[in-house]
Structure 1
C-alpha cells in the first residue's frame, strides 16, 4: 500500500513539472532588427519573413529565419547569435550595448558582427 501511495505521489510530482518544462522549450517570439554597417555599406533586416543581407549592389541574400542562440549564463536579450544557412552560410552576432555607426549622430542600442565566409563586418543594430 505504501508503495502505491509513493508512486502516485511521484507521478503527481512529475505532472506538476510538465508546465515548467513546456515553458522552457517554448520558442521565443520573432524579434525584428535592422543592422547597418559602413565602409563598405551593408545592412541586415531580421523579421519573421527571414534574414536579409544587402549591400549597395542590387543582389540581396535572403536566409530563412532561425531563432537566435543565447549566450550561456547571460540574459536572453544580452547576446543573440543567428546561424545563417543557405547558398551562403554565416553568423550574425547582436550584442546589447551602445553603438555608433561612425558616420552619423545616430545612437544604436546594439552592436553587431556579421561573418560571411572569410569576411568579418562590424556594425550597429536597432530593435524594431
Structure 2
C-alpha cells in the first residue's frame, strides 16, 4: 500500500467514524466494525456530483472520470479503490495533485435539484476540499430524473 493511500485510508476511516447511526441508505446497512464496506460493490459504477464549484463524474473499477464546468469532457485518472469500515475511498493523481475521495452512507442533497442521494462525498484535490453526493444503479437517487 502506498504511503498516500495509507494516509487517505486513515483519514477516510476517521471521517467514517463520524457518521450517525447503524442505518445506511435504503436497501443498505452500515457494516459492523472491522468489516469492509459492501454497500457499493467493486463491479458497480459510482456517480457523483457537487456544487460550488460544479463538478461530477463517475468511478468504475480502477478508472475515474472527473468533470468540471471548465472541462465537461472530463479528466480520466487511474485510482486505487479502498473499501473501509464505513465507506469507500478512491485515490489517484489529477494534474499532479493528490486526488482523494471518500464516499459514505448518508442522505445527501446537492441543494439544487430536489433530488435526495444515498451517499455523501468528501473530495480533496491537493489542499482544496469539496463536498458532494453520490449514487449507484443499486442505490439510486430519488427525485426528478431531469430537474
Q: 1:31 to 1:66 in 2, by over 3 A?
A: farther
**1:49 Cα offset (Å):** 6.5
Q: Distance in 1 between matches of 2:81 and 2:90?
A: 7
**Deviation sequence 1:31-59 (CA, Å, 0-9, x none):** 21111001210002111361111101126
Partner of 1:94: 103
SS of equivalent residue, structure 1 residue 124? strand
Q: For structure 1, list consecutive stretches of 5 or more residues without a partner in the other structure.
A: 1-27, 72-77
Q: Distance in 1 between matches of 2:118 and 2:54?
A: 19
2:92 counterpart (77, 84, 104): 84
Q: For structure 2, list consecutive stretches of 5 or more residues without a partner in the other structure.
A: 1-40, 138-147
Q: Distance in 1 between matches of 2:42 and 2:112?
A: 32
Q: Computing the radius of gyration over CA atoms, which structure comes out larger, 1 or 2?
A: 1
**TM, length-normalised to structure 1:** 0.65
**TM, length-normalised to structure 2:** 0.58
Deviates more, 1:83-92 or 1:100-109: 83-92
Whichever structure has more helix as a proportion of its residues is 1
Two-structure CA RMSD over aligned residues (Å) = 2.2
- Of structures 1 and 2, the one scoring higher in RCO (CA 8 A, sep 6+) is 2
Q: Distance in 2 between matches of 1:66 and 1:32?
A: 14
Q: Is the 8 A contact 2:87 2:102 kept in 1?
A: yes
Q: Distance in 2 between matches of 1:94 and 1:68?
A: 10
Q: Does 1:47 align with 2:60?
A: yes
